[in-house]
Structure 1
Amino acid sequence: MSIRIETEDLARAVSAGVLQPGQDQRLLEFLRQQPETRASFQLAHVAYYFGAVLIIAAMGWLLNEAWMGIGDVALLLVAGLYMALFTLAGRNLWQRGLPIPGGLLGAVAVSLTPLLVFAGERLIGLWPFDDSQGDYHSYYLWVQSGWLAMEVATLLVGLAMLRLLPFPFIVMPMAIALWFMSMDLSEALYGSAFSWEERRWVSLWFGLLVILASLWVDGRTRRDYAFWGYLAGLAAFWGGLSLMDSGSEWGKAAYGLINLGLMGLAVLLRRPLFMVFGALGVAGYLGYLSYEVFRDSLLFPVLLTLVGLLLIALGIAYQKHRDSLTASLRARLPESLQAFLPALRR
């Protein structure tokens, strides 16, 4: 609940002895500065995260062939030095009261683990591929069981980093490594290369497991580690689900219903991420229906516009009645299930 404070209210507080003379003006000046402070704070957050993602991209899937040509020893030293510097800088910022940039640098250090293991394995002769099969860039593109050491190391380094810098975003490179591991382990156990359809199923089931694990963590830690778990899990689950080729209308209808279920989970858990993915899926299904029914009709763009307006209206209604909708939906669930649900975060 927000409260509007006028200058007369502050003057009455001084008259009543609640504030000392002069404190009302200082408080008023402070309150006037808050909107600008919040805006710049949010802009700083965007800069922090965007900078971290750029570094992760530069030292990850965008790493070019020139870096591969500097030699294994040099690559190992550079990766190790970068990891150490990012970890020390992150720890320093954390101790200085800047947990967001500090934690993000910790996540960057974790994301460099595959590169460190890649160089180390090549240096000591344990690299399972020749150069034509497994250069570092292929780690982000192809499913191969030979990547497992890189993924296990990333998880271990991530766990250690979480103890040093308990920052939720560090879960993201760990979740990506787990996603890759689910693919690579499946291929190793299956014994042959996976088809795209099989990979989609692995992605779907892995995403569902990550969502359930995040649900178990949600509300049980002071920091919101579940957010990044939900994001990674939903991306894997929804991506695998959306890429499946269903030739039947019943399969496409089931896809729409599952996405409606994700929107319901958004209300139940008060997690907008579920609403975003669910709304995208529902919009895609409605767009498919509109295209099939009104393919050659002048009503096609009109109907799509109406679908978009409907989604916006649903979003406004949810934002306006979020608390009552969540409470009403939770009240209809069995008590055993209510006890399992996480505490709601604002």
Structure 2
Amino acid sequence: MTERFDAKDLSKAVNAGVLQPGQDQALLAFLRQQPQAQGGFQLAHVAFYFGALLIMGAMGWLLTQAWMRIGDGALLAIALTYIVAITLFALSLQRRGQAIAAGVLAAVAVSIVPLAVFALERIFGWWPLQDTQSDYHEYYTQVQGGWLLMEAATVLAGVLMLRLVPFPFIVMPIAVALWFMSMDLSEWFHGEVFSWEQRREVSLWFGLGLLLVFLLVDGRTRRDYAFWGYLAGLIAFWGGLTLINSDSEVGKALYCLINLVLMGLAVLLRRPLFMVFGALGVAAYLGYLSHEVFAESLLFPVVLTLIGLGVIGLGLVYQKRREQLSNSMRANLPQWLQDALPALRN
């Protein structure tokens, strides 16, 4: 939790004998010289991320067929211009203390790397797919082994960018490229076109693996790189899990149980992201019950209302006693598991 102090607070500390006369002014001058904390999420930060996502979309899966017709050389020149210009702008912002704006722009630059590699492969005849007229937006919608070089280059560019601009959001394009690579490599090793069911399974297991990796990263770095890793992992894992069709009631109940575990992890790790995905999964299961199992029951909406009120009540309790609940849950775990868990962040 971040506290703010002003001259009046320090003056009260002098009157209370906590500080000696004159120390309050020296301390106030020192605090004013420190860089402002970036912890609070402000409206300007929303604008930074939203603007970055717009650019990523424009230069990614929204790229139109018209761009394919301008020629591979022009496409490469434009992509490289974007990457270099955005990277230089990000470095300039970083030197001026605008860490968040610099970080999201650096992530944008990384996200354009696949486009540059795409054009480069086609220029030098390295394009591995038989279809020479492939659209770039298919990189985001289709599983193909031919995308592997683009994905590997994106991961490498992201790691290098983290050295220049150490900002957690850059983890996101790296994680997305790795997610794509997991499916493309699976198809490459499998030797045939992957079915929709196989893609869901690969996504589920890759997401679970990504969550475990960032569980090891969480709490062990000065910056919170785990947040975006958790988000990417949850999207892959929860998305694959949710899209699996189960005809048995046991399978659907197991799906609900897994989502309840995600909600428990939110308390244990103090990560609201897990609560959001877990709550969505539980809500989906309750929606299934209301439409399929209890469609004729008059009491079911009433029961759901009571459950909803109970959840809100639990949320209020958690808000007030977050630290006690997290510490209590950890205290009941084996010591080896407590040692493996990341340190709690405020």
Say whether the fold is shared (TM-score over 0.5).
Answer: yes
Instruction: Name 2:113's counterpart in structure 1.
Output: 113
Q: Contact between 1:204 and 1:239, CA under 8 Å: does it hold in 2?
A: yes
Pairwise CA distance, 1:80: 0.4
- Give deviations 1:36-76, integer Å, cap 9, x for gaps: x9999601110111111111111111111121111100000
**Gap change, CA 1:339 and 1:15, over 3 Å in 2:** closer
Q: Are 2:222 and 1:222 equivalent residues in the alignment?
A: yes
Kindly provide the amino acid, as one letter, of the partner of residue 211 in structure 1: L
Aligned mates of 2:139, 2:4 — CA distance in 1: 55
Kindly provide the amino acid, as one letter, of the partner of residue 209 in structure 2: L
Aligned mates of 2:3, 2:210 — CA distance in 1: 40
Q: Contact between 2:79 and 2:115, CA under 8 Å: does it hold in 1?
A: yes
Instruction: Name 1:192's counterpart in structure 2.
Output: 192
Aligned mates of 1:177, 1:146 — CA distance in 2: 13
Once the two structures are overlaid, the 10-residue window that deviates more, 131-140 or 330-339, is 131-140
TM-score, normalised with respect to structure 2? 0.89
- Give deviations 1:238-266, integer Å, cap 9, x for gaps: 00001100111111111111111111111
Alignment size in residue pairs: 335
TM-score, normalised with respect to structure 1? 0.89
Kindly provide the amino acid, as one letter, of the partner of residue 321 in structure 1: R
Instruction: Name 2:128's counterpart in structure 1.
Output: 128
Aligned mates of 1:337, 1:172 — CA distance in 2: 28
**SS of alignment partner, residue 329 of structure 2:** helix
Kindly provide the amino acid, as one letter, of the partner of residue 261 in structure 2: G
Unpaired stretches in structure 2, ≥5 consecutive residues = 29-36
Q: Contact between 1:104 and 1:169, CA under 8 Å: does it hold in 2?
A: yes
Kindly provide the amino acid, as one letter, of the partner of residue 270 in structure 2: R
Kindly provide the amino acid, as one letter, of the partner of residue 294 in structure 1: F
Q: Contact between 2:60 and 2:112, CA under 8 Å: does it hold in 1?
A: yes
Pairwise CA distance, 1:302: 3.8
**SS of alignment partner, residue 60 of structure 1:** coil
Q: Contact between 2:65 and 2:135, CA under 8 Å: does it hold in 1?
A: no
Instruction: Name 2:74's counterpart in structure 1.
Output: 74
Once the two structures are overlaid, the 10-residue window that deviates more, 207-216 or 61-70, is 61-70
Aligned mates of 1:11, 1:167 — CA distance in 2: 37
> 1:311-330 maps to which residues of 2 (within 5 A)?
311-330=311-330
Kindly provide the amino acid, as one letter, of the partner of residue 183 in structure 1: M
Instruction: Name 2:242's counterpart in structure 1.
Output: 242
Instruction: Name 1:152's counterpart in structure 2.
Output: 152
Pairwise CA distance, 1:207: 0.2
Once the two structures are overlaid, the 10-residue window that deviates more, 194-203 or 295-304, is 295-304
**Gap change, CA 1:240 and 1:133, over 3 Å in 2:** farther
Q: Contact between 1:290 and 1:304, CA under 8 Å: does it hold in 2?
A: no
**SS of alignment partner, residue 62 of structure 1:** coil
Aligned mates of 2:156, 2:285 — CA distance in 1: 40
Aligned mates of 1:3, 1:50 — CA distance in 2: 28
Instruction: Name 1:204's counterpart in structure 2.
Output: 204
Instruction: Name 2:34's counterpart in structure 1.
Output: none
Aligned mates of 1:154, 1:271 — CA distance in 2: 28
Instruction: Name 2:31's counterpart in structure 1.
Output: none
**SS of alignment partner, residue 336 of structure 2:** helix
Instruction: Name 1:33's counterpart in structure 2.
Output: none
Q: Contact between 1:94 and 1:165, CA under 8 Å: does it hold in 2?
A: yes
Q: Are 2:165 and 1:165 equivalent residues in the alignment?
A: yes
Aligned mates of 1:111, 1:77 — CA distance in 2: 16
Kindly provide the amino acid, as one letter, of the partner of residue 113 in structure 1: V
Instruction: Name 1:140's counterpart in structure 2.
Output: 140
Aligned mates of 1:187, 1:53 — CA distance in 2: 29
Aligned mates of 1:137, 1:191 — CA distance in 2: 23
- Give deviations 1:50-109, integer Å, cap 9, x for gaps: 111111111111111121111100000000010000111101111111111011111000
Pairwise CA distance, 1:196: 1.2
Q: Percent identity?
A: 65
**Gap change, CA 1:69 and 1:3, over 3 Å in 2:** closer
- Give deviations 1:128-171, integer Å, cap 9, x for gaps: 23557631011111101010010000000001000111100000
Q: Contact between 1:110 and 1:157, CA under 8 Å: does it hold in 2?
A: yes
**SS of alignment partner, residue 42 of structure 2:** helix
**Gap change, CA 1:230 and 1:39, over 3 Å in 2:** closer
> 1:1-346 maps to which residues of 2 (within 5 A)?
42-131=42-131, 134-346=134-346
- Give deviations 1:7-27, integer Å, cap 9, x for gaps: 997775576685979x99xx9
- Give deviations 1:176-231, integer Å, cap 9, x for gaps: 00000011000111111111111111000000000000001001100000000000
Kindly provide the amino acid, as one letter, of the partner of residue 104 in structure 1: V
